[in-house]
Amino acid sequence: MSQSSELKIFSGSAHRELARRIARYVGVPFGDATVDSFPDGETFVKFNENVRGRDVFLVQPTCPPTNQNLMELLIMVDAARRASAARITAVIPFFGYARQDRKDQPRVAITAKLIANLLTAAGVDRVLTMDLHAQQVAGFFDIPVDHLQALPVIHRYFAEKHLDNLVVVSPDVGGVKNATYTAQALGASLAIVAKKRKSATEIEHLHIIGDVKDKDVLIVDDLTETAGTLTSAATILRAHGAKEIYASVSHAVLSDLAIERLRKSDIKELITTNSVPVQTCDGVPVTVLCIAELLGEGIKRIHNDESVSSLFELKAKK
């Protein structure tokens, strides 16, 4: 993008506070846009300032209410395109529908691919997102996708705790790659909890691969909604002799069921990011880390045609 093209940051209604923090970090005014609803629920969008020839970034996680937030984003993109923006980047800290990334049973949709098609058809030129549930979702797009990781923010937080005898735990086999990367960054050993899912809200854990006895553990995952995976893993880790149990997720889309489970669980602290507005409650140990600097740096580098991948290069702890 030409250096003469002015950078503009706008937000839908999903997470204005994060968008304001990003704009503050980047050093640009928070964009003035009206995002409202008609009496029948239809979304209305109007940019109240000139975006012609501008490099426009639209911040909108597609968290609950997912369909509403997704439609807002699509309509904002269309409005920016019709207003002659030079480039439109959809900044989606949390990418909803990413779990529906394959046809795992008959007669179901591959919704992640559908969302990619919708965003591209609406006029998005580029996507900036963080910790997709499945990395292959980035390949569903025919436009550039910059896929950031929350690990640098989480790594900084745990490095300050100085936990010497730490074990990073993957709550299932599918998360081993992410857990391995986290363990290397923190200089920790690795363990795996094998699990069997009973239903969408219930998890049955089977056994642990690795040694957690008399050690502090950190369960890492990309997303939690009901906290079933995390709390069930914590129960079996405690039964195998783990001391302090921490959990870390990039996206905490916490339901009332999750709050209740966390309140009763063996988890000392759940660490997450503000990729979505996080519901917290008394008695629930949730720490929310800000990713405005991470996303803001990504936006600046995209605008200046610089490397984005270097943002999540970490040196392993010695």
Domains of the chain: 7-149+293-312 (3.40.50.2020), 151-290 (3.40.50.2020)
CB-based contacts of 72: which residues, under 8 Å, 6+ apart?
12, 13, 14, 35, 43, 45, 60
Instruction: Please give the pLDDT value at position 203.
Output: 57
Which candidate, 47, 45, 61, 56, places its Cα nearest to that of 6? 56
pLDDT digits (tens), the chain, 318 positions = 655 689 999 999 999 999 999 999 999 999 999 999 999 999 999 999 999 999 999 999 999 999 999 999 999 999 999 999 999 999 999 999 998 888 888 999 999 999 999 999 999 999 999 999 888 899 899 999 999 999 999 989 988 887 878 999 998 877 888 899 899 988 899 999 986 666 655 656 568 899 999 999 999 999 999 998 899 899 999 999 999 999 999 999 999 999 999 999 999 999 999 999 998 777 888 999 999 999 999 999 999 999 888 776 655 444
Please report the pLDDT score of residue 215 as a whole number.
95
Question: For residue 39, what are the CA distances in angstroms to 14, 36, 42, 48, 224?
Answer: 19, 10, 7, 21, 33
At residue 284, the pLDDT reads 80
- Output the pLDDT for position 318: 45
Q: Active-site residues: which are they? A: 195
Helix (H, G, I), strand (E, B) or coil at 312: helix
Beta strands in the chain (DSSP E): 7-11, 33-37, 43-47, 55-59, 87-92, 126-130, 145-148, 166-170, 189-197, 203-209, 216-224, 245-252, 269-273, 286-289
> Which pLDDT score, from 0 to 100, does residue 102 have?
86
Please report the pLDDT score of residue 279 as a whole number: 83
